[in-house]
Chains A and B, each alone.
Chain A
Amino acid sequence: MTLTVDTEAVRIEHLSKVYKDFWGRDKVRALDDLSLTIHRGEVFGLLGPNGSGKSTTIKLLLGLIFPTAGSASILGHPAGSTVINERIGFLPEESYLYRFLTGEETLHFYGKLFKIPRKELNRRVPLLLDTVGLNTKDRKRKLREYSKGMARRIGLAQALINNPDLILLDEPTTGLDPIGTREMKDLILSLKQQGKTVLLCSHLLADVQDVCERITILFRGKMQTLGQVRDLLEVKDITQIQTKGMTPAQVDEMRQFLAKMGVSDTVVTHPTTTLEDLFMRIVRERTVNGPATPVGATPGNGHAGNGKPGAP
């Protein structure tokens, strides 16, 4: 599929960043000669342990800091130019927002920075708040009263206010409960369905595995590997067979059959579900009135297709 996308969303060439101290001496080499290309319409994962340079990469792409060497371009414009900000959404590591504003006011403020007309904002803001799952009461509260998860949700909403083509998410699931995490992942998938490009930074491997097509792993500022998630994770010399309702006798028979074929080291177990799936199931079953509808259930709704000029 990636082969069919011919345009680049992000192009990074030999990007390096050395943080200097007050006197201009080198302090930390946070990013070292990173080169990669993100295609339009894909969900790209930037993986790596804490302090490996993920946030640094994103800050460089956004012009928040300036590269020591190398260059980057976004949607055909050099990184950091104000023009492309019209088409970008950014969710920072933590939700850095005005804590004295309410959720609604926050979105209105950011909307105004995009020169979105007032009428359109009045329509778009509630939809967006629905999408990220902030209930009507919470929207009127000041951000300083928000829990971390709620702040994360409003942060995501402000990143989507302009219906962006490229969305940069820095550790989007930190602070979210498992439902929130799942909703976030569903949202990312629905964004992908709308043809948007997503750059996802995370150290939570499960997040990345579930939504990303291609990933790169950073370690100490250097790129370690790059490729399709499926290819990277595939263990080539192990074959897995899954069936339903086999009796122990049948299992024994199967084992003998495999031994006859000369296949050794056969392991037969019952698959366990992930804790996340279990949690989800329990919460869903117990909640009479579920929280907000999962985002994935209403793809194309909300922020999507809202007729913003310049949207694809």
Chain B
Amino acid sequence: MVSTLALNLSGSLSLHTPLALAGASSPYLPWIVASILIVGGLVAFGFDDVIRLHWRRIWAISSICQTESLRRRVLWVTPLAVIGVMVVAQLSRPGDPQDAIRQTTKFCLFASAMLVTVTAVILACTNLPREIENRVIFTIVTKPTTRLEIVIGKVLGFARVSGLIILIMGVFTLAYLELRTRYMVAQLRTQLAAEPADSPLRPMLQHYVTAGLLGTRSIEWPVDVQVFARPPQGPTRWMAGGQGQYFIVPFELSPADKELLTQAAQKGKVFITTTLFVEQHAPDEEESKAIKDMGLLKPKSSRVLGPALPTTAPAGPQIPPPEVAIRLLDESHRAFSGSADMGVGQIVDMEAPKDPAAESSGHLELSPELVARLVGAGRFYTQVNARTPATEYGASEHPVALYVPGAPLIFPPTDPSNPSHNAAPVFYSFPGRGGMRLTGHADGKGAVAAYRFRNVAVDTGGRDTVSLQMNLTIDRSGDFDARTGSLSEAVVEVINRTTGESSGPLRFSPETSRVSPLDVPVKFVAGGNFDVLLRGLTPGQWLGVQNESVSLVTADRSFVFNLAKSLFILWLLSLLVVIIAVFCSTFLSWPIAVVLTLLILLGHWGVDQLGDALKPGGGRNTALEFQFQDVSQTIIVSKGFDGLASMLRFISAFLPDVTQFPVMEDIERGVSIPPQKVGSSLGAVFCYGLPLLVFSYVILRKKEVAP
């Protein structure tokens, strides 16, 4: 549960910097470092060579690389790849025509990417060592060619070869997709003609026949999503008990706070205090069952931990006293030890207020050890889980505080200018298969996922509706009878935050991992600041919601242009690959150069994949798995693992991130590739490629080229 929670949160809380040299690195740091390396390397080692640089020599050398590749029939790999793509595309059995085309697009791009990368690695890694080995280099370096020109010429030459391969694959992709689309649309047209007038398939068929299958759109994503019990309105946000809903509040202790807490922990007491509105209603059948299962109606002293025993309590709707469960989390969202003894946290009773309209409060006493850990961390999170079914908890601005008797409450600091210092509670629900769970309710009173869209540029192109794309996962809870097989239903409400207008409920039928388009009149999104409220209507079902589950189509774009962008990103990737390969081949024999090139290329990605295992503290978990008798052994393994992990993380911070070259992800979904992604690819080439190019030059300059 801890790790899934951390994963769930990481999207909104962790910051990713391409070159995470220091905790507080600016996004420009890699650019600055790269520029210094490039300029410094060139000026220090080869100022005359920079002055002598001549495009004609560079072009001549690159042409040789290209001629060589062509005459060695490298391009013959493209027909092979083309045949492979066609076979795979024919064999795959996609769900619908749109999927078929998108899958084919993906196959084509994947084949192109593989082809280009592998060819680039092999060609560029073997070239220089071979020329030195067979001494052709003798006749090149004894001409007025500088080694800088040699390096640039080689890189350019192989980039030209990659470009050619990409061009051929691109033309093939386009032609093949165009042909397949035409054929399929023709088929769909006959199907549409044959379909009865009231067929539920008609709208979809009609849509494909008119819009084609290669549609490409610009998409905007929401800023964030939170799950509430009621639509957000006014200053209070609500969460429902018994449905896995919770909120999290970040704390940051000032030095004065730390001192106060340390002293209080030694002499007196320290509490976490939560202040919430509590509203309870008569439980329905399901809630009663949950209450019974949790054993909430029995006196607390008689409850045992673990699975509840069957009770003999009288049946009938009875409302248990409201409880929350509180847990304290460190920066990587792991519970502090001593804080999570009961799974979701320590159970805290909410005391009923004297005035029914006022807030209730609950107090959790913290052990001195836990206080010491919190003071040590300085920054931590409080997670408050809504526990009691048939109960709703309302949180206003500051629902949680640290409380030392006799001293003022310590609230989390609020700094609106810094989103990571925003102490307002953030509402979640526990994750299921496809994101946070949203419980369905037939009366439309179930949990609400609220998506915030802010500063979205909407290009309506004269239309009076815009399309929201809903991409949800449907999860079925245990007692849902799958055989009834009815369609799921959900409802969306769009509220324009500029004008305050609400669209009212818009019903639709979500399907797992399928985009359901939903047309919304433009006026509800005009201005670009609006909220989308989503609820499930099918009882016994959970909808899995993520930030990516809802998006807004802002404009229609051309597929050809999108393909061109994708291929350009691929070419940039191949350029980086070539540079790395040439760099490795300046000081290694070609087989080792191939291996090192692949390591450099995939290192960052690989370390990212290891993910959690390499996080600080991962060593302790690994060591515990060995179950050593001896404590010192455990410590050695733990320390060794942590050392290795931090070394890997450090190295990977210097390696290029291939995920900055998103060749497939957008185009596959029919989404127009945003210019920033092209920019990030260019950035990666600049920040890693050019310094490596300069290193290659410096190495080659210091190298005796006679074998």
Contact = CB atoms under 8 A, between A and B. Distances in A.
B382 to A, nearest CB: 61
Nearest to B702: A66
Given A65-B706, A82-B49, A100-B72, A112 B56 contact: yes
Interface string A59-87: 10011111000000000000000110110
A110 B64 CA distance: 11
B630 interface: no
B135 interface: yes
A63 B135 contact: no
A69 to B, nearest CB: 15
22 contacts: A63-B141, A64-B142, A64-B705, A66-B704, A82-B52, A82-B144, A82-B145, A85-B144, A88-B142, A90-B139, A90-B142, A96-B134, A96-B139, A97-B136, A97-B139, A100-B67, A100-B72, A109-B63, A113-B60, A113-B140, A115-B54, A162-B143
A114 interface: yes
Interface in A100-115: 100-101, 105, 109-110, 112-115
B57 A96 contact: no
Contacts of A113: 57, 60-61, 140, 143-145
A158 interface: yes
Interface string A37-79: 0000000000000000000000100111110000000000000
A141 B67 CA distance: 15
Interface string B109-142: 0000000000000000000000000111111111
B70 to A, nearest CB: 9
B68 A98 contact: yes
A65 B705 CA distance: 7
Given A96-B135, A100-B71, 11 more contacts: A62-B141, A64-B704, A65-B704, A85-B142, A96-B138, A97-B139, A100-B67, A105-B67, A113-B60, A113-B140, A115-B57
B136 A98 contact: yes
Nearest to A95: B139
Contacts of B54: 115
Contacts of B48: 82
Task: Find the residue from B60, B142, B706 having the highest chain A CB count within 10 A.
Answer: B142
B696 interface: no
A63 B701 CA distance: 10
B146 interface: yes
Contact of A92 (B63, B139, B144, B146): B139
Contacts of B56: 112, 115
A85 B72 CA distance: 31
Contacts of B140: 113
Contacts of B141: 62-64
Nearest to A112: B60
Nearest to B149: A113
Contacts of A85: 142-145
Nearest to A61: B142
Contacts of A62: 138, 141-142
Contacts of B59: 112
Given A92-B138, A92-B139, A112-B56, A98 B64 contact: yes
A158 B143 CA distance: 10
Contact of B139 (A59, A100, A110): A110
B419 to A, nearest CB: 55
Nearest to B72: A100
Contact of B706 (A59, A105, A110, A115): A59
Contacts of A97: 136, 139
A97 B139 CA distance: 7
A66 B705 CA distance: 10
Nearest to A91: B139
A105 B68 CA distance: 12
- Interface of chain B, helix or strand or loop or mixed? helix
A268 B49 CA distance: 66
Interface in A135-159: 155, 158
**Interface bracket on B:** 20 to 34
A90 B57 contact: no
Interface in B50-97: 52, 54, 56-57, 59-61, 63-64, 67-68, 71-72
Contacts of B704: 64-66
A97 B141 CA distance: 12
Contacts of B139: 90, 92, 96-97, 110, 155, 158
A92 B706 CA distance: 12
Nearest to B61: A113
By Cβ-Cβ distance, the 9 closest A-B pairs, closest first, are A112-B60, A96-B135, A113-B143, A65-B704, A85-B144, A100-B71, A90-B142, A64-B706, A86-B144
B443 to A, nearest CB: 77
Contacts of B60: 109, 112-113
A64 B49 CA distance: 17
A81 to B, nearest CB: 9
Contact of B138 (A64, A83, A105, A109): A64
Contacts of B67: 100-101, 105
Given A63-B141, A96-B138, A115-B57, A82 B146 contact: yes
Nearest to A110: B143
Contacts of B63: 109
A114 B141 CA distance: 12
A88 B142 CA distance: 8
B126 to A, nearest CB: 14
Interface in B533-558: none
A65 B135 CA distance: 13
Interface string A16-39: 000000000000000000000000
Interface string B342-368: 000000000000000000000000000
A137 B665 CA distance: 54
Nearest to B136: A96
Nearest to B141: A64
Contacts of B135: 92, 94, 96
A114 B60 CA distance: 10
Given A92-B135, A115-B57, A100 B146 contact: no
A125 B402 CA distance: 88
Contacts of A162: 143
A114 to B, nearest CB: 6
Interface string B550-578: 00000000000000000000000000000
A153 B332 CA distance: 71
Nearest to A113: B143
A196 to B, nearest CB: 17
A112 B153 CA distance: 13
A112 B49 contact: no
Contacts of B49: 82
A105 to B, nearest CB: 8
Nearest to A84: B144
A109 B197 CA distance: 71
Interface centre among A63, A65, A86, A109 (most CB of B within 10 A): A109
